[in-house]
Amino acid sequence: MNFLFVADPLSSFKIYKDTTFAMMREAQRCGHAISVCEVRDLMWQRGGPVTAFVRDITLTGGPVNWYTAAQQAPDERAQPLKDFDCVVMRKDPPFDSEYFYATHLLEQAEREGARVFNKPRAVRDHPEKLSILEFAQFIGPTLVTRDPADIRRFHAEHRDIILKPLDGMGGAGIFRVKDDGLNLGSITETLNREGQQTVMVQKFLPEIVLGDKRVLVIGGQAVPFCLARIPQGGEVRGNLAVGGKGVAQPLSARDRAIAEALGPVLHGRGLLLVGLDIIGDSLTEINVTSPTCFQEIFDQTGFDVAQMFIHALTQALSQPSPGGPA
């Protein structure tokens, strides 16, 4: 089969840990052809299908010059997305306006016959911070507001809180305010932009010292190991992007219960790959854009997450598109 990966520039890949690279490597091992493009390469014009300038690549197995490309320039070959057996959307956040527009182009490609994973409409319908509201039985005390008075009341009740922007990624813009309330007003003004932007506020979970666990769910089934991202050096954030230490470990009973409750629901909506973030026993985020941690889990446990993903992807391609017709 022919797989198209819509991703960040290949030059930005850190292949020793990149999940998209792991997917490509397993796809090639299984005999599938690999093409790549960036979001900026997508194009639609009346009278024709959604197309992209693509590069057909082969992985070399080398650590530096890790691929060869049939096209020397990124704009040599335009191909309709519907001509690929599947399109795997792996553009990293932020989920900004350009990402939003890309989902509409990909959805148009679906109408033309393309199979896109994760399903573009499902990605739009599941903002990664707000999606947890649907599953409130699994989350800790949480407030979503733009009103400073609401935030002050929430702090007065819980005394130790976390504030974060709804469009943040990699731990950016996350603040902790302890019992003394120091700088709560200033932090609120910074995040809600003088009342113009909604923020999320959550009770601080002391279990963060044991890690912010990334639980991967593929085809509705939980990967048996998670990656606990443990804060380092006095940080409150465990994100790998800000220096957290990743430690793979088996799922706890609570982790598995959350994954088993959410997995089939989200898969039924067209989300083949989901990353659940869990601190202690509480769900904190549902990642649907480009969940990671495949290689860290494999390196530490030997469980081949990429193999599980490519198997689920090929299984999905043999069946009608979940969440409605493509």
Query: How far lies 289's CA from each of 121, 145, 170, 203, in Å?
Result: 12, 24, 13, 25
Q: How confident is the model at residue 111 (pLDDT cuts 50, 70, 90)?
A: very high
Average pLDDT, the chain: 95
How, if at all, do strands 199-203 and 67-69 pair?
unpaired
> Is 178 known to be catalytic?
no
283 exposure class (CB count in 10 Å sphere: 0-12, 13-18, 19+) = buried
Query: Of these residues, 129, 203, 213, 269, which one is catalytic?
Result: 129
- pLDDT above 60 for 322: no
Q: Which pTM value belongs to this model? A: 0.94
Q: Are residues 173 and 110 part of one domain? A: no
Assign 182 to helix, strand or coil.
coil
Q: Does residue 192 carry a catalytic annotation?
A: no
Which residue among 25, 121, 229, 269 is the active-site one?
229
| Residue 135 burial (CB count, 10 A) | 16
Catalytic residue at 285? yes
For residue 247, tell me if it sits in a domain: yes
Does the residue 198 lie in any domain?
yes
Q: Which of 214, 239, 255, 269 is catalytic?
A: 214
Q: What is the CATH number of the domain that holds 37?
A: 3.40.50.20
- CA 163 to CA 186: how far, in whole Å? 12
Percent of the chain with pLDDT over 70: 98
Residues 196, 216: one domain? no
Report the domain count for the chain: 3
Residues 105 and 172 grouped into a single domain: no
In terms of domains, do 191 and 228 share one?
no
Give the residue carrying structure tokens 């960036």: 38
pLDDT in tens, 179-196: 999 999 999 999 999 889
Amino acid sitting at position 291: P
Are residues 165 and 216 both part of a single domain?
no
203 is catalytic: no
pLDDT at 324 > cutoff 70: no
* pLDDT score recorded for residue 323: 47
From 26, 38, 128, 277, active-site residue? 277
* Domain span holding position 149: 141-204
Q: Distance between the two ends of the chain, CA-based, in angstroms?
A: 18
Identify the CATH number of the domain in which residue 162 sits: 3.30.1490.20
Q: Which helix (H) or strand (E) holds 259?
A: helix 253-268
Task: Say how many C-beta atoms besides its own lie within 10 A of residue 19's C-beta.
Answer: 22
The model's pLDDT over 294-305, given as tens digits with 9 standing for 90+, comes to 999 999 999 999
